[in-house]
Protein backbone atom coordinates (compact mmCIF):
# COMPACT_ATOMS: atom_id res chain seq x y z
CA UNK A 1 0.00 0.00 0.00
CA UNK A 2 2.93 2.32 0.64
CA UNK A 3 3.68 2.19 -3.08
CA UNK A 4 0.31 3.74 -3.89
CA UNK A 5 -0.32 6.31 -1.14
CA UNK A 6 1.25 9.26 -2.92
CA UNK A 7 -0.42 8.31 -6.19
CA UNK A 8 -3.71 8.56 -4.30
CA UNK A 9 -2.64 11.92 -2.87
CA UNK A 10 -2.14 13.26 -6.41
CA UNK A 11 -5.64 12.02 -7.25
CA UNK A 12 -7.37 13.70 -4.29
CA UNK A 13 -5.49 16.97 -4.80
CA UNK A 14 -6.45 17.06 -8.47
CA UNK A 15 -10.09 16.19 -7.77
CA UNK A 16 -10.30 18.95 -5.15
CA UNK A 17 -8.83 21.47 -7.58
CA UNK A 18 -11.27 20.34 -10.27
CA UNK A 19 -14.15 21.27 -7.95
CA UNK A 20 -12.71 24.73 -7.22
CA UNK A 21 -14.60 26.64 -9.96
CA UNK A 22 -17.89 25.33 -8.56
CA UNK A 23 -17.40 26.37 -4.91
CA UNK A 24 -20.22 28.73 -3.97
CA UNK A 25 -22.02 28.48 -7.33
CA UNK A 26 -25.02 26.58 -6.02
CA UNK A 27 -24.39 23.77 -8.52
CA UNK A 28 -23.44 20.67 -6.58
CA UNK A 29 -24.06 18.38 -9.55
CA UNK A 30 -21.41 20.02 -11.71
CA UNK A 31 -19.02 20.24 -8.76
CA UNK A 32 -19.35 16.50 -8.20
CA UNK A 33 -19.07 15.78 -11.92
CA UNK A 34 -15.82 17.76 -12.19
CA UNK A 35 -14.24 16.05 -9.18
CA UNK A 36 -15.41 12.62 -10.32
CA UNK A 37 -14.07 13.05 -13.86
CA UNK A 38 -10.68 14.08 -12.53
CA UNK A 39 -10.52 11.25 -10.00
CA UNK A 40 -11.50 8.58 -12.52
CA UNK A 41 -8.98 9.66 -15.16
CA UNK A 42 -6.06 9.72 -12.73
CA UNK A 43 -6.98 6.49 -10.93
CA UNK A 44 -6.91 4.70 -14.26
CA UNK A 45 -3.30 5.77 -14.77
CA UNK A 46 -2.09 4.07 -11.56
CA UNK A 47 -0.36 0.68 -11.82
CA UNK A 48 -2.86 -1.41 -9.89
CA UNK A 49 -5.66 -3.90 -10.46
CA UNK A 50 -8.37 -1.99 -8.62
CA UNK A 51 -12.08 -2.36 -8.00
CA UNK A 52 -14.38 0.32 -6.59
CA UNK A 53 -16.27 -1.32 -3.71
CA UNK A 54 -17.56 1.96 -2.27
CA UNK A 55 -18.39 4.49 -4.95
CA UNK A 56 -20.84 6.98 -6.41
CA UNK A 57 -23.66 4.43 -6.60
CA UNK A 58 -24.82 1.47 -8.60
CA UNK A 59 -23.83 1.13 -12.26
CA UNK A 60 -27.26 2.30 -13.48
CA UNK A 61 -27.20 5.36 -11.21
CA UNK A 62 -23.65 6.67 -11.65
CA UNK A 63 -21.80 6.53 -14.98
CA UNK A 64 -18.45 7.04 -13.29
CA UNK A 65 -16.82 5.41 -10.26
CA UNK A 66 -19.75 3.07 -9.73
CA UNK A 67 -19.63 0.15 -7.34
CA UNK A 68 -17.90 -2.72 -9.08
CA UNK A 69 -16.05 -0.59 -11.64
CA UNK A 70 -12.52 -1.77 -12.44
CA UNK A 71 -9.88 0.94 -12.27
CA UNK A 72 -6.13 1.23 -12.71
CA UNK A 73 -3.96 -0.20 -15.44
CA UNK A 74 -4.92 -3.78 -14.55
CA UNK A 75 -1.40 -4.68 -13.48
CA UNK A 76 0.15 -4.67 -10.01
CA UNK A 77 -1.53 -5.05 -6.63
CA UNK A 78 -5.15 -6.17 -6.42
CA UNK A 79 -6.80 -3.31 -4.55
CA UNK A 80 -10.29 -2.54 -3.24
CA UNK A 81 -11.08 1.17 -3.14
CA UNK A 82 -13.61 3.35 -1.39
CA UNK A 83 -13.90 6.73 -3.07
CA UNK A 84 -15.86 9.93 -2.60
CA UNK A 85 -14.94 12.66 -5.10
CA UNK A 86 -16.76 15.14 -2.86
CA UNK A 87 -17.90 14.34 0.66
CA UNK A 88 -19.95 17.49 1.20
CA UNK A 89 -21.40 18.46 -2.20
CA UNK A 90 -23.90 20.84 -0.61
CA UNK A 91 -21.15 22.53 1.38
CA UNK A 92 -19.13 22.92 -1.82
CA UNK A 93 -22.02 24.41 -3.76
CA UNK A 94 -22.82 26.84 -0.92
CA UNK A 95 -19.19 27.78 -0.25
CA UNK A 96 -19.48 26.43 3.30
CA UNK A 97 -17.03 24.41 5.40
CA UNK A 98 -16.65 20.62 5.61
CA UNK A 99 -16.12 19.50 2.00
CA UNK A 100 -13.31 17.07 1.12
CA UNK A 101 -12.29 14.63 -1.58
CA UNK A 102 -11.22 11.25 -0.24
CA UNK A 103 -9.88 7.78 -1.10
CA UNK A 104 -9.41 4.73 1.12
CA UNK A 105 -7.78 1.53 -0.05
CA UNK A 106 -6.95 -1.98 1.12
CA UNK A 107 -5.94 -5.29 -0.47
CA UNK A 108 -8.67 -7.16 -2.33
CA UNK A 109 -11.34 -8.59 -0.05
CA UNK A 110 -10.48 -6.48 3.00
CA UNK A 111 -13.06 -3.66 2.66
CA UNK A 112 -16.76 -4.06 3.34
CA UNK A 113 -18.74 -4.09 0.11
CA UNK A 114 -21.73 -1.94 1.02
CA UNK A 115 -24.47 -0.30 -1.05
CA UNK A 116 -25.24 3.40 -0.90
CA UNK A 117 -27.75 3.56 1.96
CA UNK A 118 -27.97 4.82 5.52
CA UNK A 119 -25.72 3.39 8.21
CA UNK A 120 -25.70 3.86 11.98
CA UNK A 121 -22.18 4.52 13.27
CA UNK A 122 -20.23 4.87 16.51
CA UNK A 123 -16.51 5.59 16.80
CA UNK A 124 -13.91 6.44 19.40
CA UNK A 125 -10.15 6.94 19.66
CA UNK A 126 -7.38 4.56 20.74
CA UNK A 127 -7.87 5.09 24.49
CA UNK A 128 -11.38 3.67 24.41
CA UNK A 129 -10.87 1.15 21.59
CA UNK A 130 -12.68 -2.09 22.39
CA UNK A 131 -14.98 -0.42 24.91
CA UNK A 132 -17.83 0.82 22.70
CA UNK A 133 -20.87 -1.24 21.71
CA UNK A 134 -23.34 -0.09 19.05
CA UNK A 135 -25.96 -2.43 20.52
CA UNK A 136 -25.74 -0.81 23.96
CA UNK A 137 -27.59 2.35 25.08
CA UNK A 138 -25.81 5.67 24.54
CA UNK A 139 -25.53 6.07 28.30
CA UNK A 140 -23.51 2.86 28.59
CA UNK A 141 -21.17 3.94 25.83
CA UNK A 142 -20.58 7.33 27.43
CA UNK A 143 -19.74 5.76 30.79
CA UNK A 144 -17.46 3.20 29.10
CA UNK A 145 -15.56 5.91 27.21
CA UNK A 146 -15.30 8.07 30.32
CA UNK A 147 -13.80 5.19 32.29
CA UNK A 148 -11.36 4.30 29.49
CA UNK A 149 -10.18 7.90 29.05
CA UNK A 150 -10.02 8.75 32.74
CA UNK A 151 -12.60 11.52 32.40
CA UNK A 152 -15.81 12.47 34.11
CA UNK A 153 -18.98 12.39 32.00
CA UNK A 154 -19.13 16.20 32.00
CA UNK A 155 -15.65 16.27 30.49
CA UNK A 156 -16.66 14.22 27.43
CA UNK A 157 -17.34 15.72 24.01
CA UNK A 158 -19.43 13.85 21.46
CA UNK A 159 -19.33 14.91 17.81
CA UNK A 160 -22.64 14.44 16.02
CA UNK A 161 -24.31 15.81 12.90
CA UNK A 162 -26.90 18.53 13.49
CA UNK A 163 -29.92 16.64 12.15
CA UNK A 164 -33.44 16.09 13.47
CA UNK A 165 -32.90 12.31 13.40
CA UNK A 166 -30.17 12.76 16.03
CA UNK A 167 -32.07 15.08 18.38
CA UNK A 168 -32.98 12.37 20.88
CA UNK A 169 -29.32 11.34 21.12
CA UNK A 170 -28.25 14.97 21.50
CA UNK A 171 -30.77 15.47 24.30
CA UNK A 172 -29.59 12.29 26.07
CA UNK A 173 -25.93 13.27 25.80
CA UNK A 174 -26.55 16.75 27.16
CA UNK A 175 -28.90 15.41 29.82
CA UNK A 176 -26.06 13.30 31.20
CA UNK A 177 -23.83 16.38 31.33
CA UNK A 178 -21.58 15.64 28.36
CA UNK A 179 -20.96 18.19 25.62
CA UNK A 180 -21.88 17.97 21.95
CA UNK A 181 -19.91 19.26 18.96
CA UNK A 182 -22.45 19.66 16.15
CA UNK A 183 -21.44 19.74 12.50
CA UNK A 184 -23.45 20.37 9.34
CA UNK A 185 -22.27 18.01 6.62
CA UNK A 186 -19.67 15.35 5.82
CA UNK A 187 -19.13 12.86 8.65
CA UNK A 188 -15.84 11.24 7.55
CA UNK A 189 -13.55 13.81 9.16
CA UNK A 190 -15.62 14.18 12.38
CA UNK A 191 -15.46 10.40 12.90
CA UNK A 192 -11.68 10.35 12.39
CA UNK A 193 -11.35 13.35 14.72
CA UNK A 194 -11.95 11.00 17.67
CA UNK A 195 -8.41 9.70 17.06
CA UNK A 196 -6.72 13.12 17.24
CA UNK A 197 -5.93 13.94 20.88
CA UNK A 198 -5.56 17.69 20.32
CA UNK A 199 -9.18 17.98 19.16
CA UNK A 200 -10.52 16.57 22.45
CA UNK A 201 -13.32 14.61 20.74
CA UNK A 202 -14.16 11.47 22.71
CA UNK A 203 -16.99 9.84 20.77
CA UNK A 204 -18.68 10.04 17.37
CA UNK A 205 -22.30 9.04 16.85
CA UNK A 206 -24.57 9.31 13.87
CA UNK A 207 -26.72 7.98 11.08
CA UNK A 208 -25.28 8.82 7.69
CA UNK A 209 -24.18 7.30 4.42
CA UNK A 210 -22.69 3.80 4.39
CA UNK A 211 -19.96 4.81 1.90
CA UNK A 212 -18.76 7.52 4.27
CA UNK A 213 -18.86 4.97 7.09
CA UNK A 214 -16.45 2.63 5.34
CA UNK A 215 -14.16 5.53 4.41
CA UNK A 216 -14.05 6.69 8.03
CA UNK A 217 -13.48 3.13 9.26
CA UNK A 218 -10.23 2.94 7.30
CA UNK A 219 -8.92 6.20 8.74
CA UNK A 220 -9.91 5.22 12.28
CA UNK A 221 -8.39 1.74 11.91
CA UNK A 222 -5.17 3.30 10.66
CA UNK A 223 -4.93 5.49 13.77
CA UNK A 224 -5.72 2.75 16.31
CA UNK A 225 -9.28 3.80 17.09
CA UNK A 226 -12.46 1.74 17.06
CA UNK A 227 -15.65 1.90 15.00
CA UNK A 228 -18.82 -0.14 14.77
CA UNK A 229 -21.75 0.22 12.40
CA UNK A 230 -25.10 -1.15 11.28
CA UNK A 231 -26.63 -0.87 7.82
CA UNK A 232 -30.19 0.51 7.78
CA UNK A 233 -31.97 -0.79 4.68
CA UNK A 234 -35.34 0.96 4.34
CA UNK A 235 -36.94 -1.27 1.72
CA UNK A 236 -37.00 -4.91 0.67
CA UNK A 237 -34.97 -3.89 -2.38
CA UNK A 238 -32.23 -2.35 -0.24
CA UNK A 239 -32.26 -5.40 2.04
CA UNK A 240 -31.82 -7.76 -0.92
CA UNK A 241 -29.08 -5.54 -2.37
CA UNK A 242 -27.11 -5.95 0.86
CA UNK A 243 -27.46 -9.72 0.63
CA UNK A 244 -26.38 -9.69 -3.02
CA UNK A 245 -23.17 -7.94 -1.92
CA UNK A 246 -22.34 -10.65 0.59
CA UNK A 247 -23.91 -9.19 3.75
CA UNK A 248 -25.89 -12.22 4.93
CA UNK A 249 -27.68 -10.44 7.79
CA UNK A 250 -28.02 -6.79 6.71
CA UNK A 251 -29.41 -5.59 10.07
CA UNK A 252 -26.66 -7.09 12.21
CA UNK A 253 -24.09 -4.91 13.95
CA UNK A 254 -20.73 -4.76 12.21
CA UNK A 255 -17.48 -4.78 14.17
CA UNK A 256 -14.49 -2.78 13.01
CA UNK A 257 -12.76 -5.79 11.44
CA UNK A 258 -15.87 -6.39 9.31
CA UNK A 259 -15.64 -2.86 7.93
CA UNK A 260 -11.89 -3.02 7.30
CA UNK A 261 -10.11 -6.31 7.84
CA UNK A 262 -6.44 -5.33 7.77
CA UNK A 263 -3.90 -2.79 9.03
CA UNK A 264 -2.41 -2.71 5.53
CA UNK A 265 -4.69 0.12 4.45
CA UNK A 266 -4.48 3.76 3.45
CA UNK A 267 -6.65 6.85 3.82
CA UNK A 268 -6.00 10.05 1.84
CA UNK A 269 -8.13 13.21 1.88
CA UNK A 270 -7.75 16.74 0.53
CA UNK A 271 -9.73 19.72 1.79
CA UNK A 272 -11.99 21.52 -0.67
CA UNK A 273 -13.34 23.84 2.01
CA UNK A 274 -12.02 23.92 5.58
CA UNK A 275 -12.96 21.48 8.36
CA UNK A 276 -11.67 20.57 11.81
CA UNK A 277 -8.58 18.82 10.36
CA UNK A 278 -7.96 20.29 6.91
CA UNK A 279 -7.75 23.74 5.37
CA UNK A 280 -9.71 24.45 2.22
CA UNK A 281 -8.09 25.35 -1.10
CA UNK A 282 -6.37 28.73 -0.92
CA UNK A 283 -5.27 31.07 -3.69
CA UNK A 284 -1.94 32.91 -3.46
CA UNK A 285 -1.60 35.14 -6.49
CA UNK A 286 -1.73 32.67 -9.41
CA UNK A 287 -0.94 29.62 -7.27
CA UNK A 288 -3.34 27.33 -5.47
CA UNK A 289 -2.51 25.66 -2.16
CA UNK A 290 -4.10 22.38 -1.12
CA UNK A 291 -3.99 20.84 2.35
CA UNK A 292 -4.21 17.06 2.65
CA UNK A 293 -3.89 14.25 5.16
CA UNK A 294 -2.28 10.88 4.48
CA UNK A 295 -2.89 8.06 6.96
CA UNK A 296 -0.86 4.84 6.75
CA UNK A 297 -2.36 1.87 8.56
CA UNK A 298 0.85 -0.11 8.88
CA UNK A 299 2.77 2.52 10.82
CA UNK A 300 -0.29 4.23 12.38
CA UNK A 301 0.91 7.59 11.10
CA UNK A 302 -0.92 10.72 10.00
CA UNK A 303 0.94 13.18 7.80
CA UNK A 304 -0.46 16.55 6.79
CA UNK A 305 0.84 17.97 3.53
CA UNK A 306 0.46 21.33 1.82
CA UNK A 307 1.06 21.46 -1.92
CA UNK A 308 1.48 24.59 -4.03
CA UNK A 309 0.05 24.15 -7.52
CA UNK A 310 0.63 26.38 -10.53
CA UNK A 311 1.36 26.03 -14.23
CA UNK A 312 5.09 26.05 -13.51
CA UNK A 313 5.40 24.78 -9.94
CA UNK A 314 4.37 21.75 -7.93
CA UNK A 315 6.15 22.03 -4.64
CA UNK A 316 5.32 19.97 -1.57
CA UNK A 317 5.76 21.31 1.95
CA UNK A 318 5.48 18.81 4.82
Per the annotation, does 212 bind a ligand?
A: yes
Residue 173: count other Cβ atoms within 10 Å of its Cβ.
Answer: 23
Q: Return the H-helix or E-strand segment holding 290.
A: strand 287-296
User: What are 295's strand-pairing partners?
Assistant: 267, 302
Mutual angle of helices 167-175 and 138-149, in 10-degree steps: 50
Question: How big is the chain, counted in residues?
Answer: 318
Q: What is the 3-state secondary structure (H, E, C) of 60-128?
A: CCCCCCCCCCEECCCCCCEEEEEEEEEECHHHHHHCCCCCEEEEEEEECCCECCCCCCEEEEEEECHHH
DSSP-derived secondary structure letter, 64: S
Per the annotation, does 58 bind a ligand?
A: no
Per the annotation, does 84 bind a ligand?
A: yes
Provide the 3-class DSSP secondary structure of residue 231: strand
Please choose, from the candidates 234, 308, 274, 293, the residue with its C-alpha nearest in 3D space to the C-alpha of residue 91: 274
Q: Which residues of 244-285 form beta strands (DSSP E)?
A: 266-271, 282-284
Binding site feature residues: 32, 56, 84, 87, 212
Binding site feature residues for Mn(2+): 32, 56, 84, 87, 212
Amino acid sequence: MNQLIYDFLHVTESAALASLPWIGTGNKIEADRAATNSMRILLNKISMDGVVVIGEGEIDEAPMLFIGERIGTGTGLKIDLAVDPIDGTTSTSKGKNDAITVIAAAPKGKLLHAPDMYMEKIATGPKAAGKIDIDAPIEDNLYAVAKATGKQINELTVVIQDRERHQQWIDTIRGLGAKTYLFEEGDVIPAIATCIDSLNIDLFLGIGGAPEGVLAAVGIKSLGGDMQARLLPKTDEEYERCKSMGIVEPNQSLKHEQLIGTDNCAFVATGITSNMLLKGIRCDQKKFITHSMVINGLDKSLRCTETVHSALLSETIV
